[in-house]
Amino acid sequence: MALKFAKVAEKTLPLHIVETTDFEAWKASCDDQTKTWLETTGFKPSIGAVSLVPGSDGKPRSAVVGFGHQEDRVKGRFALAAAATKLPERSFEITSSPEGFDFETEALGWLMSGYAFGRYKDAHGTKAQLVCPDGVDADRLEAIAAGEALTRDLINIPANDMGPDELEKAMRALASNFEARISVVKGDELLKQNFPMIHTVGRASTRAPRLLDMTWGTKGPKLTLVGKGVCFDTGGLNLKPGSSMGLMKKDMGGAATVLGLAHMIMALELPLQLRVLIPAVENSVSGNAFRPGDILTSRKGLTVEINNTDAEGRLVLADALALAAEDNPYQIISMATLTGAARVAVGPDLSPFYAEEDRVADALSRAGTKIADPLWRMPFWDPYEKMIEPGIADLDNAPSGGFAGSITAALFLRRFVDTGRYTHFDIYGWNPSAKPARPKGGVGMGARAILEALPEVLNL
């Protein structure tokens, strides 16, 4: 699907966006035909309401859509997209809108409402197209929408069609599109090149584990993105119950999100040096699966006691983060569907994140609010460091007690990054129910906020 803005054409219809408070005054300013039509049909400008106003020939000559009350809009996002889905397959141009209308955010929501996952059956998103509003950067929004669509597709594809091989192919296709460079360390070669925990987690699967490494750009500050690529997570020998395993195709949501973000960065030709690292594995059960009680030695040399084989994401990320830190980039950002504790804390809408630098956290929080990609800062709480130290090894991958699960996972990852410039996102990657511009299924979280904040984070 092409998530693109429409071009102005003869058949482009005027679009009027009206909020509840201003509706009567706005209606009074309309021509008699429009006013009569709205009164006769009983149109109310609630969020998502649509009225096609006919001309003398009976064909639509304009569209009026509701924008509701301000207090209704703060309860959700992309209010215009709620109406876009109900409009016919025509192009529309905004000709009137409420004071303070956020053209950029609402136009992006319209674009993203065009997404539908149609790999296995016919599916269609919004068919109506929008002419890009004046003053809005169409190329930027189209790049963002395309990156978001890539993330959604990768998460939505089930594990039988999205294993480590297919995730590698997706990265290779992205690299080819933007003339990026890619290298892959696969199978037993992981041991030879000192990625022991990636190998250990993935060795029980018939699909070989691997580390995917993509680089792009030759000038500017170095940004390294690390995404958890667990293409399916059975839980290993600590086998998940069926109710918890059903959505584990999305356990590579961190990888999908950093690939979508990478698309945005490269499409917009940002002046930076980008590196994307994805440990791609399947956490399976077989005779050579790693066991509870095993002690692993990581790339960095830290030893890790395995107290739960279902806490495997932090293990594969640890080796990738150690590699990332060796290059001393300006900023390292990891994204992972890492803990259920994060979902219990903030639910599926917010992206919890941890940042070592206050300036980075502030920039991300402001960006998330500005562009309707909400984030919530969580603490690297140093007093909990003792919780991840089991005594028999340097680190514990699954501290007992059940307290602060997301925080202890973030502290675990931080042990493998020595730069002091590390940010970690513990995302959900899934929209459990349909909302405007966000159908049920895989969804990018945090990527747009990161993109918006990058100029400040990297001092571009």
Report the C-alpha dihedral over residues 336, 430, 362, 276, rounded to 10 degrees.
40
Residue positions counted in the chain: 460
Query: Any catalytic annotation for residue 314?
Result: yes
Give the separation between CA 91 and CA 10, rounded to whole angstroms.
10
| Whole-angstrom Cα Rg for the chain | 24
Give the separation between CA 428 and CA 350, rounded to whole angstroms.
9
For residue 64, the 8-state DSSP code is: E
Catalytic residue among 249, 314, 421, 448: 314
**Across-strand partners of 214?**
182, 276
Q: 332 to each of 73, 251, 425, how far by Cα in Å?
A: 34, 20, 11
Give the separation between CA 199 and CA 294, rounded to whole angstroms.
14
Q: Which residues contact 397 (CB under 8 A, 6 or more apart)?
A: 304, 305, 306, 307, 308, 311, 312, 314, 315, 412
Catalytic residue among 35, 240, 343, 377: 240
Query: Any catalytic annotation for residue 435?
Result: no
Give the separation between CA 407 and CA 286, rounded to whole angstroms.
31
Residue with the two structure tokens 């296709």 = 173
Task: Reduce the DSSP state of residue 380 to 3 states and report it.
Answer: coil
Give the phi and the psi of residue 289 in degrees, each rounded to 5.
Answer: -65, 145
Give the separation between CA 432 and CA 109, rounded to whole angstroms.
18
| Identity of residue 250 | K
Q: How many other CB atoms sit within 10 Å of the CB of residue 280?
A: 30
Catalytic residues: 240, 314
